[in-house]
Amino acid sequence: MNRKGIFLARFLLLGVCAFLIARIGYIPHADEVSPQKMICVLPINDSKNEVDKGVFFDTFQDALSYIGELKKNGKFPEKGIKIVLRKGEHKISDSIVFKKEHSGEEGKPIIITAEDKTESTISGGIQIKNFKKLSEEEHTGRIKKEILEKLYVADLKEYGLKSLPPLKLGGHGSLELRQKDRGYKGYTAFRYVEVFFNGQAMTLAKYPNDSFLHVAGIEGETAERLPGFSTMTNVKIKVDNCPLTNWTKEPNILLHGYWHYDWSDSYENVSAIDPDKGEIELANSASAYGYKAGARFYALNLLCELDQSGEWYLDRQNMLLYFYPPAPMDKAQIEFSWFEGPMFVFENASHIYIEGLHFKLGSGNLIEIL
């Protein structure tokens, strides 16, 4: 998630000012304290409540540039530096990248922390406030008529969002992940956007709502795509009593199943559906352990199956978010985790500590160390 820069631009600001006078010869005046500046850089010393002696910046990048300059000019403080985030929510739209020139040193760390006794949060999300009731005219033909009046739609383009991470998920039995790491000890996290209603994660539109489908039969070819695993290719799943006709209009269906062993899951992309034959063709046949009749699965990411409160669907092409709220919308806080991250990158950097901060609404990794 670096990226990504689009819009929600910079960290909010709220705060004040300058480095220790003795260190840099700058005496901030109270009037210079901007209530919007939120990131303070100051030397580590033994005293408490030292923040008002710091130098304040609008963005993390500005703070890092400042630290780079201190190091370059031989003015890095003898006990190191604190980067203090003042109280509030800091929106992030680009990764914060620490390089060698932003490193601490032995006995001179860089500590990234919250101002004493306050809650500082770095957020990769947006609060969605432009939901509208879906009108008959906006009906896509994929939405169930009886559910139409319950639905809201928000245009995410109004928040500057132009693209999102692809909808791709792995699972314990993901062939792709096991091809990279056969033992699969390093469970890979995928970037995944989510909708939160008053802090609760909502459900990507699915079918069935509260149970599983079961594989009625399998067609496909055995193929040794990974030695020691029962991999297949060109797999078609047969299902009974499934509303496949509606699904043919859905552009990006995911099937989440325990395809062979009931303890190992993977996500399958769908490439074609034949309602007459009751068949679903898988795009990648992504299960490392193969498939068997009776295996349980459910389908995700279908607008035509958005029919239970708490479900949402994102039309990625038009950046429209459809939502069936679980409670009245008037005073609800609805958030969307879009920032792909990572929030922090440490690239050949060292002697840096993060403490006391809150993070929320990232859709990818929080930290990457290169």
CA 91 centroid distance within chain? 14
* Beta strands 311-315; 203-204: pairing state: parallel
Q: Which is nearer to Ca ion, 209 or 222 (CB)?
A: 209
Minimum CB–partner distance for residue 132 and Ca ion (Å): 21
Interacting residue with Ca ion among 265, 307, 335, 340 (CB under 5 A): 307
Spell out, one character per residue from 67 to 96, where the chain touches Ca ion: x when CB under 5 A holds, - when not: ------------------------------
Q: Which stretch binds Ca ion (CB under 5 A): 124-132, 175-183, 225-233, 303-311?
A: 303-311
Q: Which structure tokens are listed for 118?
A: 């306050």
Nearer to Ca ion, 265 or 305 (CB): 305
Q: Which residue has the tokens 């319950």?
A: 150
Q: Rank residues 231 and 301 by Cβ distance to Ca ion and give the closer one.
A: 301
Closer residue to Ca ion, CB minimum distance, 2 or 301: 301
DSSP-assigned states of every residue in 188-246: PPPP--EEEETTEE-EE-EESSSS-EE--EEEEEE--SSTTS--EEEEEEE-SS--HHH
Of the candidate spans 57-65, 153-161, 235-243, 305-313, the one that interacts with Ca ion by CB under 5 A turns out to be 305-313
DSSP secondary structure of 123-170: E-EEE----EEPPSTT--SSS-GGGGGG-EEEEGGGGT----------
Which C-beta is closer to Ca ion: that of 94 or that of 305? 305
With H, G, I as helix, E, B as strand and everything else as coil, classify residue 66: helix
Give whichever of 304 and 352 is closer to Ca ion, judged by the CB atom: 304
Tell the smallest beta-carbon distance from residue 306 to Ca ion (Å). 6
Residues 6+ apart with CB under 8 A from 325: 152, 197, 309, 310, 332, 334
Scanning 158-166, 300-308, 313-321, 342-350 for contacts with Ca ion by CB under 5 A, the matching segment is 300-308
Q: Which of 88-96, 227-235, 307-315, 330-338 is the region at the interface with Ca ion (rule: CB under 5 A)? A: 307-315
Candidates 10-18, 42-50, 164-172, 299-307: pick the segment binding Ca ion (CB under 5 A): 299-307
Contact flag: residue 305 with Ca ion (CB under 5 A): yes
Binding mask 198-217 for Ca ion (x = CB under 5 A): -----------x--------
**Alpha carbon 18 to chain centroid, angstroms:** 34
Cα angle at 132 between 126 and 138, to 5 degrees? 120
Q: Name the one range near Ca ion by CB under 5 A: 43-51, 52-60, 154-162, 297-305.
A: 297-305
In the complex, which residue's CB is closest to Ca ion?
Answer: 305
Angle at 302 between CA 258 and CA 220, to 5 degrees: 45
Q: What is the DSSP string of 69-93?
A: HHHHTT---TT-EEEEEPSEEEE-S
Of the pair 250, 305, the CB lying nearest Ca ion is at: 305
Residue among 307 and 335 whose Cβ is closer to Ca ion: 307
The number of residues that bind Ca ion (CB under 5 A) is 4
Answer for the pair 18, 360: CB distance below 8 angstroms, yes or no.
no
Interface residues toward Ca ion, by CB under 5 A: 209, 305, 307-308
